Chains A and B, each alone.
Chain A
């Protein structure tokens, strides 16, 4: 079956060799929103006008990472180091095409010998920005689908799972649950029908890793899902992708169609009895649908609300069947692991967190964009070297990781290696990979308020602590933000944090207090400063009432329940 892939690869190389120049235009969401579509058209026209069609090809490719400097255009002249252009406009097309055989256009050049490009280690993003996401041939030419064929023709399902266990891969959606363990439990669950679900309901503010992978390299997800399906014994997969990502959906649809055509999906894949089908399900804008049980409810056509676990989806998932749910980035790591072996992957990272992690840098940072680094890289390296430092010459005050479930890490801890354990020791979480850098002007109370507002409006409303508790916490934070708080408000806020964290039904509620608790831990003085002087002297009702309240608890019940 490798021969078929080989044929496609050779044909693809032959095409590539016919051209002296390749112009790659970024066609991912970031650059598309700043007109890269028009740029590609302009370059196309310019090539045509100069009669260069036979020597120069123009391709749309995926995300190149440095979104802050977009739209990005890369010119490959067959030399090892390609030329990259930044802040390109459609008017620059003549200059770019005119300089193909001469020296590059200096005023547009984006240096690629900087740490942003040099310090990254790309596995999940290995094809991003290099291949056309709308052509399966290019994915295949980049070793695509060899891992799937290797898995189904040379390995048993148990061997595939072993390889994942060896790799030490952990869930990239935020929880960090060992992927191999999850696969084992689903594989061992009783059930005639099993399902694989790809969770592409990325919704954290400031996170766009999954979006970029889906838009830049959709086949990688399909391959990962098919391998997972083979390993656990599933023949049906669903990609649950949020409706706000129309480009990702369109590219996934194209990719599924193409993969079926070359028989990498469908029945009898690569001449084996293994069958695997993938369908897309669209989310309708609810953040909570990223929670696995709510996601399942949504796919089943019900209201997207979580249910208590256990039972976990591994036992009782979609339509009551054992279901494997993995995040986009987790599934994107599967194919390289099978291709190169689990030990290769486990060679990167720290003792407990292996491999690489994609981060979306946002906020007050020079190089806003996507990066992929080995686990254990320090925050300082990420922010100051790869990220190019704080924008506007400011000083870094804190870094928010993990979105609304995460926390703020103060600049004192910049030397912390980024892995699951050390971030949670600091009161934050790895999360899905959003990293928001804040400078000295940022108010931590406002940050906490922003995330609480997010949780409040995104609560599904099923359980009381999250539905009502988040409203009260938000109102209290609002008081702090207006500098009208009282000492009692701080007591109440902390009480509510503890209660909502410990009694909420799902992860959304349980982690909603995290941004408040972490800012209270490191920036308590900002909360104290928001307590007004008059308020500090006020009579505080709560302690005063504690005596009578304790008395009241000992009273015998008088009323009988209506029945």
Chain B
């Protein structure tokens, strides 16, 4: 028998709070709509989710696996826990790993005070990094006429890759390499300034959560990012469909 509904609605609880949901809503969307805080880094409203940063992992009663809130859809009777001690520990460890991976020096960063990584570390109470720093030697690409890419501050969230591909439609950015050797690259791994596909729209710069992508001419703590365009673009496009 064909079921008589198009989209079903579900009720579930998040941290004990009962919430109503459409079946196409994620736990993260529901939590945000209900004022429950779940940390995220790779998630970006307007582009598809990849579940890579693992900060939004939540516990769901009945499953032993932790699931990313950004890619887990509402189900009837689900009991979601977003703030257990275990989850907090793992989230701090994820941030620890991110800080140790590259050279994040807030004191000399253009995004100091406006950085999502820094803000999250503060919010989750990171007072020191529990693993040894890796101190990789990384380059800065300042070949572009407007913007700079500093690999030292990149956390490989791939927001730039997705916004360039899905919103701007240029696909200038992508990722090369494996594991810790992964790098964000423009076109065929060439200096950004020589990447023909780049439209210089700057969307990548605005969505970058850290100071990895920034506008030229900004000094320490001067780089603030403007993201208002994203929900607007999304709204306009959905309206057009």
A458 engages B54 (CB within 8 Å): no
A552 engages B116 (CB within 8 Å): no
Of listed A286, A468, A492, A503, residue having the most chain B CB within 10 A: A468
The reply on B9 being an interface residue by CB < 8 A is no
Of listed B127, B155, B174, B225, residue having the most chain A CB within 10 A: B127
Identify the stretch in A57-65, A172-180, A244-252, A555-563 within 8 Å (CB) of chain B at 4 or more residues.
A555-563
Residues A559 and B119 in contact in the complex (CB < 8 Å), given A464-B94, A468-B98, A503-B90: yes
Residue-wise interface mask of A (430-466) relative to B, using a CB-CB cutoff of 8 A (1 in contact, 0 not) = 0000000000000000000000000011111111111
B131 engages A503 (CB within 8 Å): no
Chain A, residue nearest B94 (CB) = A464
Smallest CB–CB gap between A195 and chain B, Å? 22
Smallest CB–CB gap between B171 and chain A, Å? 12
A502 engages B90 (CB within 8 Å): yes
Q: Chain A residues near B52: list those with CB within 8 A.
A: 462-464, 505
B-side interface residues, number (CB < 8 Å): 50
B93, B111, B174: which contacts A499 (Cβ < 8 A)? B93
Q: Chain B residues near A505: list those with CB within 8 A.
A: 51-52, 54, 68
Identify the stretch in B177-185, B197-205, B232-240 within 8 Å (CB) of chain A at 4 or more residues.
B177-185
Q: Chain A residues near B97: list those with CB within 8 A.
A: 464-465, 468-469, 472
The reply on A549 being an interface residue by CB < 8 A is yes
A459, A548, A558, A559: which contacts B179 (Cβ < 8 A)? A459
Residue-wise interface mask of A (3-28) relative to B, using a CB-CB cutoff of 8 A (1 in contact, 0 not) = 00000000000000000000000000
A499 engages B90 (CB within 8 Å): yes
Smallest CB–CB gap between B94 and chain A, Å? 5
Q: Chain A residues near B68: list those with CB within 8 A.
A: 308, 505
Interface residues of A (CB under 8 A from B): 286, 303, 307-308, 456-472, 475, 492, 495-496, 499, 502-505, 542, 545, 548-549, 552-555, 557-563
Return 28 A-B CB contacts under 8 Å, by A number: A456-B180, A460-B178, A461-B179, A461-B180, A462-B52, A464-B53, A464-B94, A464-B97, A464-B98, A468-B98, A468-B100, A471-B134, A492-B130, A499-B90, A499-B93, A502-B66, A504-B54, A505-B54, A542-B130, A545-B128, A548-B127, A553-B88, A557-B119, A557-B122, A558-B122, A559-B113, A559-B122, A561-B119
Starting from the known contacts A465-B97, A503-B54, A555-B125, 5 additional A-B residue pairs (CB-CB under 8 Å) come to: A461-B175, A470-B179, A472-B100, A559-B119, A559-B122
Task: Report, nearest first, the 9 A-B pairs whose CB atoms are least far apart.
Answer: A461-B182, A553-B125, A562-B114, A459-B179, A552-B127, A468-B97, A308-B51, A557-B123, A468-B101
Interface residues of B (CB under 8 A from A): 50-54, 57, 66-68, 71, 88-90, 93-94, 97-98, 100-101, 111, 113-116, 118-119, 122-128, 130-132, 134, 155-156, 174-175, 177-182, 224-225, 227
